[in-house]
A and B are shown apart, each in its own frame.
Chain A
């Protein structure tokens, strides 16, 4: 199974400042079809998960453009250009390239300093 490792696991940030979360996979996430099935999910306190980014860098509908995804192979990054109060929550990376199983990172908790 592909292991997804996120860092940091806790990220205190200042409102208006940028934030970055790293996600590494135990093997390349490039699929035989040429796509890379790496997604980012946000889970606000008390809510269900919401997908923000799919296939590394594509924002889902309604996701603010301050969220961006990048990376390739085994190394991926979610960046928040400036953090707003509504961004507090836990962020997960998830891979679908080598599925089943679909696997998630441990989660990164973003909180306001």
Chain B
């Protein structure tokens, strides 16, 4: 069974940092491009970041460029999103997705003082 399990969400103050993890199982993780997509409460889906299968190529939405860093550990079947200089507008559920075919359950990030 394909599983993607996000962790690391929580409440953080503006300007703070969080690292999300996405543990993958049940499929050939190292062969998949991986994505982070976020969804503010009650809003639509917004692409945040992508990383290719070997981790050498990454891209970011303009809204997070320079603040977020995506990485992966194919030996551990895990995807990461390091989020720095967090803002109130970063408050959202963050989903990891494998080629958009498989999605995790989401991790809630709340940025508030």
Residues of A within 8 A of B (CB): 39, 41, 43, 48-51, 54, 60, 92, 94, 96, 99-107
- Report B-chain residues with C-beta under 8 Å of the C-beta of A106: 44
Query: Would B101 and A51 count as touching, CB distance under 8 A?
Result: yes
Residue of B37, B44, B45, B100 near A96 (CB, 8 A) is B100
Chain B interface residue number, banded: 10 to 19
- Report A-chain residues with C-beta under 8 Å of the C-beta of B45: 41, 43, 49, 92, 94, 104, 107
The docked-state distance in angstroms from the alpha carbon of A103 to that of B105 is: 20
The docked-state distance in angstroms from the alpha carbon of A43 to that of B93 is: 13
CB distance from A107 to the nearest CB of B (A): 5
The docked-state distance in angstroms from the alpha carbon of A48 to that of B35 is: 14
Given contacts A39-B100, A48-B103, A48-B104, contact A100 B46 (CB under 8 A): no
The docked-state distance in angstroms from the alpha carbon of A67 to that of B45 is: 21
- Report B-chain residues with C-beta under 8 Å of the C-beta of A104: 44-47
- Report A-chain residues with C-beta under 8 Å of the C-beta of B59: 100-101
Query: Would A60 and B105 count as touching, CB distance under 8 A?
Result: no
Give me 13 A-to-B residue pairs in the complex whose CB atoms sit less than 8 angstroms apart, sorted by A's number. A39-B100, A48-B106, A49-B37, A50-B103, A54-B100, A54-B101, A92-B44, A94-B100, A100-B47, A101-B47, A102-B50, A104-B45, A104-B46
CB distance from B61 to the nearest CB of A (A): 6
- Report B-chain residues with C-beta under 8 Å of the C-beta of A51: 100-101, 103
Identify the closest chain B residue to A92 (Cβ).
B45
Identify the closest chain A residue to B101 (Cβ).
A51
Identify the closest chain A residue to B35 (Cβ).
A102
